[in-house]
Amino acid sequence: MADFISGMRISSSGMSAQRARLNTISSNIANVNTTQTPEGGPYRRKDVVFEAMPDSRNFGEILTSSNPKSSLQRVQVSDVISDTKAPLLKYEPDHPDANADGYVAYPNINMMEEMTNMIQATRAYEANVSAMQASKDMALSALEIGR
């Protein structure tokens, strides 16, 4: 039963990481036209950084485990970074945020790239849901055998 729980724990970490990625992508899309932020300047595109971490277990699992140095890994969001690319300058002299030359700095966000990232994150989330469902089904089948 512990292996089923480990599989579910790893799948849930993947779902959490992809949810954070989807939230970040949504923020990028929502701010595609944001020319001023509280920090000053246009919105900076954000991206999440994933990191592999050893699957954390509780003390009881560590004591009863036959392999205390398990190689199972889970994913975790380690950082959210801001893009350092220069903003896009568009000539709009009537815009309130235009500079002295009439150019407005817009976020350097490529909508096609954001939509592609969103599809990838959605597919990864769905794959983790399927893996979790498979683990649940196997655990239920194992319980049925024991009857």
Length of the chain counted residue by residue: 147
This prediction has a pTM of: 0.81
Q: For the chain, what is the mean pLDDT?
A: 88
Identify the pLDDT of residue 21.
97
* Span of 4-8, 39-43, 106-110, 136-140 with lowest mean pLDDT: 4-8
Lowest mean pLDDT among 6-20, 63-77, 112-126: 63-77
Of the pLDDT bands very low, low, confident and very high (cuts 50, 70, 90), residue 31 is very high
- pLDDT at position 147 is 75
Least confident residue range of 39-48, 71-80, 87-96, 120-129: 71-80
